[in-house]
Amino acid sequence: MHLAYPVVLAALLFSVGVYGVLARRNVVLVLMSVELMLNAVNLNLVAFDAWLRDSLHAGQALTLFTITIAAAEIGLGLAIVLLLFRARGTADVDRATALGDPAESAAEEAPAGAEALKGQAAA
């Protein structure tokens, strides 16, 4: 099988994950998107391991590690989400802005702030 197929699939999966992380409001969906991104990486690891015919199969071994850590991470993440929901009654990322600058009404200015930041980074 040509390498392009798994790599393109991985790239698509990663992009979907990025989109989910950046755009979804529900924290659970954000966590799921993170899983998508991790699995895209896993796919890449396995694909390149096969393509390179690595005798030690380092890629596959690393994938196992990643899966383990992802499981731990999602457990921790869901616990945090649970606590957040209990405390706030919502699981929206947009509304969990208690760590922001209190003087600003953060929710409204967030896009403008992000744009300004992007503009600065581009400059």
Partner 1 sequence: MNLALPTLVPVLPALGAAATLAVGKRAPGLARPLAIVPVAVSAVLALVVALQLGTGQVLESATRLTPTGGPEITLGFYLDGYSSLISVLVGLVATCVQVYSTAYLKDDLRYPSYAALVSLFTAAMFLVVYSGDLIVLLVGWEVMGICSYFLIGHHWESADARSASLKAFLVTKLGDVPFLFGIFLLGADAGSFRVSDVLAAAGEGRLGHPTLIALLLLAGVAGKSAQFPLHTWLPDAMAGPTPVSALIHAATMVAAGIYLVARLLPVFLLSGAALVVLAVMAAVTMIGSALCALAQDDLKRVLAYSTVGQLGYMAGALASGDREASVFHLVSHGAFKALLFLAAGVVIHAAHTNSISVMSRTPGLRKRVPDAYWTMGIALVALIGLPPFSGFFSKEAVLTAAEHAANGEALTNGVGPASAVPQAAGWIVLISAALTALLTAAYAARLFLVAFHSPAASGAGLAAAAPVTLPDHEAGAPYSPEPDEADPATAEPPAMRWPLWVLAIPTMAFGVTSLRSDWLPALLDGGSLRPSAVTAVTGTGLAVVGALLAYGAWRSATARLGAGRPAPALEGRVPEQAGAPAAEVIVADPGRTLLGPLFGPARHGFGVDRLYTALFVRPVAAAALLVRFLDREVVETYVRGTGAGANLLGRAVRLAQTGNAQTYLSALLAGVVLLAVLVAV
Q: Determine the 3-state secondary structure of 94 from DSSP.
A: coil
Contact pick of 11, 12, 23, 71 for partner 1 (by CB under 8 A):
23
Nearest approach in angstroms of CB 33 to partner 1 is: 11
Question: In the set 7, 74, 84, 93, which binds partner 1 (CB under 8 A)?
Answer: 93
Minimum gap (Å) between residue 13 Cβ and partner 1? 16
Give the chain's radius of gyration (CA, Å). Answer: 19
In sequence order, which ranges of the chain are alpha helices (DSSP H)? Answer: 4-23, 27-52, 58-88, 106-122
- In the structure encoding, which two tokens stand for residue 79, read together? 């616990």
Please provide residue 20's backbone torsions phi and psi, each rounded to the nearest 5 degrees: -65, -45
Which residues contact partner 1 by CB under 8 A? Answer: 18, 21-23, 30, 93-94, 96-101, 103-104, 106-107, 109-110, 112-114, 116-118, 121-122
